[in-house]
Amino acid sequence: MKTSLRFLFFVMCFLLFQSFAAQAQQRTITAEDLWQMERVGNLTASPDGRLIAFSKTRFDISTDQSYTSIFLMNSDGSNQREFTRHGTDSAPVFSPDGRYLAFTSRRAGGPAQLYVIPVSGGEAKQITDLPVAVSAPQWFPDGQRLAFSATVHPDYNGDWDRHRELVSERSNSLVTAKVTENRTYRFWDRWLTDGHYPRLFATTLDGEVTDLMPESRRFFAMQGAPSFDISPDGRTIAVSANNEPPPYNYLNYDIILINTDGSGERANITEDNPANDLNPVFSPDGRFLMYGMQTRTDFYADNVRLVRYDLQRGSREVLTEDIDKSFSNWQWSRDGRTIFFHAQHLGKTSLFSIPSRGGSVTQILHNGTNGAPVLLGDNRIVFTHTNFSAPAEIFSIRTNGRDLQQLTRINAERVAELNLGRVENVTYTGANGADVQMFIVYPPDFDPSQKYPLMMMIHGGPHGIFGDEFHYRWNAHLFAAPGYVTVLPNFHGSTSFGQAFAESIHGAHSDLPFRDIMKATDFMIERGYIDENRLAAAGGSYGGYMVSWIAGHTDRFAALINHAGVYNIMGQFASDITEHRIAAYSGSPWDGLESMQRWNPALHAANFSTPMLIIHGELDYRVPVTQGLEVYGVYKGMGLDARLVYFPNENHWILRPNNSIFWYQEVHNWLERWLGN
């Protein structure tokens, strides 16, 4: 007995020593670490469920370049190997018989083209050779053709040589003016005045391309991959595309059924719904189409309901009207009886299922942020998973929520080198006595007996969340690393807590969130380890709007950071999207001006005193760059401490590695200047 106790004591001491030794070898996370992480995406599985394909992207900080390759592995995670090595390969998709993999690549130079390669190995065959980039390939069920998306000149009529001439004429013109009469005339970081529109095409394996949407001038896939699916018989494509004609007072996405014979015949099956209809997916037997439906045209975060459309009868049934979740990325089970999907839920993005005829929702996994679910055979799902302390990796789980398995550990060694602080999920009492969820990310080696500065992070949207994920642009551990307790409240207006909570800030954009943020600050100070003289707040987009609002309504913060923030809401009518703003602001410059101006940070500049770091990109059309320049000009005009960081080649986000590293450097320097560490 004594020997056993001595042995147990020895083992415990040894493990404790190992833990201390490992921790001593760890170091604090840096911005460079974020760009040395490899990022997985484009997850797909072979029809028999035996193989998984995915893309992996790495970055070269010395050149600001990225390199993407396609990887294959067995469904249990074994035999992981780099399958393509040209650095521009992505969007893999298996053929129906599982023998081939189609993908897009820029390996021939010029825009991305479509390639096909045997899964058994060998050389890839280039399928298309077009003057435009192709994207989002999908196989037809017979394996003889592929569908893809490409954006073409408005006068394209099937003659690719003429298309080349039209593009050349425009690029060589000495006239640089952009002219429009449309309400929506630019989006995110690009102008729409050149009239180019996306279309769907089909190609044989010999490269014979057919335009499936001749003369179409519809927007779809404004950001990200287009949303379309091919019927099991290969005769029809369902695509989510804008049906609102110029001047595009708003974009209304409908479900369009397109004949795949090249005739151009198409039918709109959701024309009666003035709001968006999204992500059509055919049932395995081809009888039904499952798609998402919103009902409001003035609220971009309106819940997405799941609709089952009977293609034989032309009837539809809303399956989830009474379920207070917003559905996303749904997939049919092979027998057509179940729908698998993910949805934001209580600050996380969880996996769920629901019977395809409607019924109660079953939670499969509620942990971290889960994305891109793909069926792996009959009873498993493969997906990406990330949380605050781990970059995205590939996992699988049984459809009943059991037997969770991690299949990749692409960044495990890099993460093991880092001393990351503890993460806590709390709920506090916010405005009007409501429960407000908040994440707390502690600095490394946190000691509750000491006093720490507080870093208040404010998310954008405002109808979004600070989710449990390893964020590359606003990484909470990197904010906490210098020694700051970092908090991320999901205040009123945040999604994942029900439709009413998200809608609660309409017409008073800063009222409830401001009170939630102040109560979160009080909540943290009451814990006893926060130095109330060293408080900072940082936010981007709407979060930047709240930073300017905070500047005009309290002086309790020692430093503020405003990234791409709205300052003067009058100026947001220069944004790329304006149709939702009247409802959000409870007014407009031409109707309800007094109500709108009540929540305008620019009208409270007389109260500014807190030092502010202001960051903005020239190519930001969502929050035009003048917003940042205006608040900076006001600060300097008042003789206050302010610093401007301007990126001429970035949009609403800072996406280039060296610019991102510089961004974090400026943020840390500003915090150290006013808070210390």
Q: How far is the first Cα of the chain from the last one, in angstroms, to the nearest whole number?
A: 50
User: What CA–CA distance (Å, rounded) separates 445 from 196?
Assistant: 54
How big is the chain, counted in residues?
677
- Work out the average pLDDT over 428-449: 97
- Chain center to CA of 659: 20
Check residue 59 and give its pLDDT.
Answer: 97
Q: What is the enclosing helix (H) or strand (E) of 641?
A: none
- Chain center to CA of 311: 32
Strands 485-490 and 452-458: parallel
- Work out the average pLDDT over 49-70: 97
Q: What is the enclosing helix (H) or strand (E) of 548?
A: helix 542-553
Percent of the chain topping pLDDT 90: 87
Helices (H) and strands (E) in the chain, counts: 12, 38
pLDDT band at 19 (very low <50, low <70, confident <90, very high): very low
| DSSP bridge partners of 135 | 149
Residue 163, token pair as written in the block = 């298309």
- Chain center to CA of 589: 31
- Spatial contact of 611 and 641, defined as CB atoms under 8 Å apart: yes
Place of tokens 């210098």: 482
Half-sphere exposure of 86 (CA within 13 A, CB side): 15
Provide the greatest CA pair distance for the chain: 92
The pLDDT tens digits of the residues spanning 250-267 come to 899 999 999 999 898 899
CA distances from 554 to 298, 542, 603, 608 (A): 31, 18, 14, 9
Residue 243, token pair as written in the block = 């049906």
Check residue 24 and give its pLDDT.
Answer: 55
pLDDT band at 23 (very low <50, low <70, confident <90, very high): low
In sequence order, which residues have a C-beta less than 8 Å from that of residue 211 and are 6 or more positions away?
A: 156, 158, 199, 201, 262, 264
Whether 5 shows a pLDDT value over 90: the answer reads: no
The pLDDT tens digits of the residues spanning 578-609 come to 988 998 999 999 999 999 999 999 999 999 99
CA torsion through residues 674, 419, 58, 488, sign: negative
User: What CA–CA distance (Å, rounded) separates 538 from 93?
Assistant: 40
- Spatial contact of 484 and 454, defined as CB atoms under 8 Å apart: yes
Residue ranges and CATH numbers for the domains of the chain are 31-118 (no CATH), 419-675 (3.40.50.1820)
Burial of 225 (0-12, 13-18, 19+ CB in 10 A): exposed
- Chain center to CA of 451: 35
CA distances from 146 to 114, 208, 261, 428, 631 (A): 9, 10, 13, 52, 51
pLDDT band at 400 (very low <50, low <70, confident <90, very high): very high
User: What CA–CA distance (Å, rounded) separates 70 from 103?
Assistant: 9
User: What CA–CA distance (Å, rounded) separates 458 from 535?
Assistant: 14
Residue 104, token pair as written in the block = 């897009």
Check residue 14 and give its pLDDT.
Answer: 37
Check residue 18 and give its pLDDT.
Answer: 41
CA torsion through residues 439, 445, 447, 453, sign: negative
User: What CA–CA distance (Å, rounded) separates 518 from 512?
Assistant: 10
Least confident piece of the model among 28-42, 183-197, 302-316, 557-571: 183-197
pLDDT band at 8 (very low <50, low <70, confident <90, very high): very low
Strands 642-647 and 612-617: parallel
Residue 283, token pair as written in the block = 């049932």
Decide: helix, strand or coil at residue 519.
helix
Place of tokens 């039918």: 267
Per-residue H/E/C for 256-309: EEEECCCCCCEEECCCCCCCCEEEEEECCCCCEEEEEECCCCCCCCCCCEEEEE
The pLDDT tens digits of the residues spanning 87-143 come to 999 999 999 999 999 999 999 889 999 999 999 989 999 999 999 999 999 999 999
Residue 548, token pair as written in the block = 């300017």
Check residue 166 and give its pLDDT.
Answer: 86
Strands 228-230 and 236-242: antiparallel
Check residue 223 and give its pLDDT.
Answer: 77
- Spatial contact of 207 and 127, defined as CB atoms under 8 Å apart: yes
Strand residues in 46-187 grouped as ranges (E):
51-60, 65-74, 81-82, 90-94, 100-105, 113-118, 125-126, 134-139, 145-152, 186-187
Provide the 10 A C-beta neighbour count for residue 83: 20
Side chain identity, residue 483: G
Check residue 221 and give its pLDDT.
Answer: 80
pLDDT band at 7 (very low <50, low <70, confident <90, very high): very low
Check residue 377 and give its pLDDT.
Answer: 84
Q: What is the enclosing helix (H) or strand (E) of 426?
A: strand 423-429
Identify which of 90, 93, 50 has the alpha carbon closest to the alpha carbon of residue 68: 90
pLDDT band at 11 (very low <50, low <70, confident <90, very high): very low
